[in-house]
Amino acid sequence: AGYTLAFSVANGPAEESPSILCVNRWVHTRLEKALDECEAHTMGGGDAVVTVPLKPTPIEFVDQEVDGTRLVMLKGGTPETVMSDTRESVGQMVQRTGAAGGINGTFFAMAAIAATDNRLIGPSMVHGGPLLPDSQSTIWGKIRNRPLVMWGPTNFAIVPYNPDRMNDPEAFTNFMPDATDTFLGGVWLVHDGIAREKDALQTFGSKDIEDARRRAAFGIDAEGRPVAACTRDSVSSSKFAQMLAQAGLKEAVLLDSGFSTSLVLGDNVLASGHSTASTPSRPVPHAIMLKGDVDALSVTAAAKASLASATAVATEEPAPRKRKKRRRR
């Protein structure tokens, strides 16, 4: 048609624009809709975008009791996410990657225990790999504003997830050019050192988020150390958030919990999803490894606190499922 320049209009808030060269706006005739959408998008979201420097330190094992519940944590090291082609135990992933320890990762799309699918809920980027976008647009409304965790060699960040804008590698590159890892957490448990309220957690969580289960979380403390934390006992998510805040975490997000809960240091299983130590946590597709030297005192403490051998647990065959007998009519 002979034009040398053209413009397009996209309705939306300016702060959710894909770039400085493509700024969203709202047409004046749709301001009421704009207000409704903006209010809906901020329900339960984090108070701010969090970016803090990572501090490399030796890995420390912390075992403490908070309000009568045992909390075990690994602090420090260099965090790296890892993905299984199917599903593996955290102990197997620690051995395979040569990490010092690790914790089970985030929520996966196919939750059936017998499944081997490795798709995750939300976008993900395994250490140094490409961004894998979330193609399940049918659940975007439910996972909007969940905490998107990312980090690179020197910085750690958590941002409220916007599925309309954050499935494009460019969005991540613009925010953190040297990002190496990312995943979508379940809920934002602790923000700026304060446990989030139950109502905020229930905005995103599944119906059983307040059920008592063994819980797992990943975050960062006030010193800038990555923290992998699990409970030895069953608690609700709001109780877990309070425990983490009391334990000194500055930011924390919920990982897959229940039977997936698993914290490993070396050959020591420090937390399990089952009440029986000899019963292994279920295999998972995603985990967070901690690499680096382990504090000498923590090696001894972890051995004393160990529930089982990670090597032995990884080689155990799962017990056969009992079949119900059908009555003949």
**pLDDT per position as a tens digit, 2-28:** 888 777 777 777 776 767 778 888 888
Q: What is the pLDDT of residues 212-271, one digit of tens each?
A: 889 999 999 999 999 999 999 999 999 999 999 999 999 999 999 888 999 999 999 999
Residues 89 and 177 in one domain: yes
- pLDDT at position 204 over 70: no
Residue 327: inside a domain: no
Residues 10 and 72 in one domain: no
Residue 161: inside a domain: yes
Residues 28 and 95 in one domain: no
Residue 321: inside a domain: no
Cα 80 from Cα 125, distance rounded (Å): 10
Look at strands 226-231 and 249-254 and give their pairing.
unpaired
Residue 230: inside a domain: yes
What does the pLDDT read at residue 57? 95
Residue 21: inside a domain: yes
Q: What is the pLDDT of residues 276-302, one digit of tens each?
A: 766 668 889 999 999 999 999 999 999
Residues 6+ apart with CB under 8 A from 268: 302, 303, 305, 306, 307, 309, 310
Residues 12 and 126 in one domain: no
Round the average pLDDT of the chain to a whole number and report it. 85
Residue of 114, 117, 186 lying closest to 149 (CA atoms) = 186
Residues 235 and 276 in one domain: yes
Residues 103 and 190 in one domain: yes
Q: How many domains does the chain have?
A: 2
With cut-offs at 50, 70 and 90, classify the pLDDT of residue 317.
very low
Residue 320: inside a domain: no
What does the pLDDT read at residue 329? 44
Helix (H, G, I), strand (E, B) or coil at 150: strand
With cut-offs at 50, 70 and 90, classify the pLDDT of residue 56.
confident
Per-residue pLDDT averaged across 68-76, rounded? 96
**Residue 229 belongs to what H/E stretch?**
strand 226-231
Cα 186 from Cα 171, distance rounded (Å): 21
Percent of the chain with pLDDT over 70: 84
* Six token digits for residue 12: 């939306």
Residues 103 and 252 in one domain: yes
Cα 286 from Cα 284, distance rounded (Å): 6
What does the pLDDT read at residue 206? 61
- pLDDT at position 43 over 90: no
What does the pLDDT read at residue 244? 97
Residues 226 and 143 in one domain: yes
With cut-offs at 50, 70 and 90, classify the pLDDT of residue 135.
confident
Residue 310: inside a domain: yes
Residues 21 and 155 in one domain: no
Per-residue pLDDT averaged across 95-99, rounded? 95
Residue 324: inside a domain: no
Residues 124 and 6 in one domain: no
Percent of the chain with pLDDT over 90: 50
Task: Choose the weakest-confidence range: 107-111, 154-158, 277-281.
Answer: 277-281
What does the pLDDT read at residue 95? 94
Q: What is the pLDDT of residues 188-202, one digit of tens each?
A: 999 999 998 887 776
The type of residue at 146 is: R
Range of the structural domain that residue 210 is part of: 50-315
What does the pLDDT read at residue 114? 55
Query: 110 versus 100: which is more confidently predicted?
Result: 100
- pTM reported for the whole predicted model: 0.81
With cut-offs at 50, 70 and 90, classify the pLDDT of residue 182.
very high
Residues 22 and 69 in one domain: no
Residues 38 and 54 in one domain: no
Look at strands 50-53 and 155-160 and give their pairing.
antiparallel
